[in-house]
Amino acid sequence: MNSSSITTGQRIKAIVGGSIGNLVEWYDWYAYAAFAIYFSNSFFPDSDLNAQLMNTAGIFAVGFLMRPIGGWMFGSIADKIGRKRAMTLSVLLMSFGSLLIALTPTYKSIGILAPLILLLARLLQGLSVGGEYGVSATYLSEMATQDRRGFYSSFQYVTLIGGQLIALGIQLILQKLLLTEAQLEDWGWRIPFVIGALLSVIALYLRANLHETEAFENKKKVDEKKKGTVKELLKHPKALLTVVGLTLGGTLAFYTYTTYMQKFLVNTVHLTKEESTLISFITLFIFACLQPVFGGLSDRIGRRPLLLGFGILGTLCTVPLLTALSTTTSMWGAFLLIMAALIIVSGYTSINAVVKAELFPSEIRALGVGLPYAITVAVFGGTAEYIALWFKKIGSEEYFYWYITGCILFSLVVYMGMKDTKKTSTLDKD
């Protein structure tokens, strides 16, 4: 990318602004997963905890079904009228969804309307977060210098994980210092959603003052009919299928070891809610710190070796790691096993954004990154928790471990057939 007119200060401001907006978006998204163990009985009348969690996880999965629509809608907006405007709109929508969850009365107060409003809020958040990934991945990749793209774009997952960390951090503070378990289940679970709505205002301000990327500005004269359209996107079938293939195993592994892991530690390992939250917080913090390290490494040795490392180790180690985790009795034993899994997953998470951005020309880049990714995440990432709980319910939890392994193996086959996008990047043509 020709970066002559963008100063280092503007570049840093863009990376920080884009990343913080991303962090707020993902905080709002993950607050739902983190606090589901407390609010599930407020929206669903069933006295069986596993059934309540399955209903709540079901709505979590339905939120994912909106992500392809969000990927298409915001990807098109970003390619047609700018990355900056698309990111501003997505954070507005997320904030409204959070406010709706915070203010919704319980099932006891309004009956069936309660889970229906929860569903509506989740659909809005799914739409927002579906658009967020493709646009912010594109923005961070385009704002980075050629030799630091892996490092800069890795901050997308730093802030994605950071959003989850803030959600868990707030949960820990409420659990340990401020509220009893009864208060959390009664009304305390609403607090993180109010915080999310307030944080969105800050993100909105930051995004409104961002610098647009040169890659977008340079393509303003391109025929409008070619910008951000599915018709134009379909002219790149190999890149489209590559995004699906490289995402499939990675997104399933990521959601298993992050959003689902808290429930796994409570339901299967039989740790307390507080212990599982603490382990999740520490492992995710270290995981976030690893992303720029792996991203920077990809700038030196290429993207493909990291993806191959994740594919091979993920295929070989998933069943042994999860089997050992399910039988561990030690809190710190659980921590070490999850950490080992997250180090393996870092080979995918740290660079997947830049790899996808390097596959598409700028006039359809946000759409190309966002839409196939969102479809794959909706099918495999969004349903991970629900499938895991279903296998547990029928008494065959170990089948879930093999399901993850099969998906990672599929992605490994794609990684083996890929060229290294660091060497063939379309970003170099901008």
> Any idea where the domains of the chain sit in the sequence?
11-212+231-417
Which residue type sits at 329? T
Number of alpha carbons in the 13 Å side-chain half-sphere of residue 245: 19
Q: What is the mean pLDDT of residues 62-82?
A: 87
Locus of tokens 């109010």: 194
Backbone angles phi, psi at 339, to 5 degrees: -65, -40
For the segment 127-153, what is each residue's pLDDT rounded down to a tens digit? Answer: 888 888 889 889 988 888 888 899 988
User: What's the rounded Cα separation, in Å, for the pair 285 and 279?
Assistant: 10
User: What's the rounded Cα separation, in Å, for the pair 92 and 199?
Assistant: 11
Largest CA distance in the chain: 62
Residue 1 pLDDT level (bands cut at 50, 70, 90): very low
Query: Does position 221 have pLDDT exceeding 70, yes or no?
Result: no
| pTM, full prediction | 0.84
For the segment 385-402, what is each residue's pLDDT rounded down to a tens digit? Answer: 889 989 988 989 899 999
For the segment 124-133, what is each residue's pLDDT rounded down to a tens digit? Answer: 888 888 888 8
CATH class of 11-212+231-417: mainly alpha
For the segment 157-180, what is each residue's pLDDT rounded down to a tens digit? Answer: 898 889 888 988 898 899 888 988
Least confident of 57-66, 82-91, 100-109, 413-422: 57-66
pLDDT at 94: 85
pLDDT at 298: 95
Look up residue 380 and give its two tokens. Answer: 């495999």
Asked if residue 369 lies in contact with residue 243, where contact means CB atoms within 8 angstroms, the answer is yes
Q: What is the DSSP string of 40-92?
A: HHHH---S-HHHHHHHHHHHHHHHHHTHHHHHHHHHHHHHHH-HHHHHHHHHH
The closest alpha carbon to 286, from 353, 343, 347, belongs to 343
The closest alpha carbon to 245, from 372, 132, 371, 395, belongs to 372
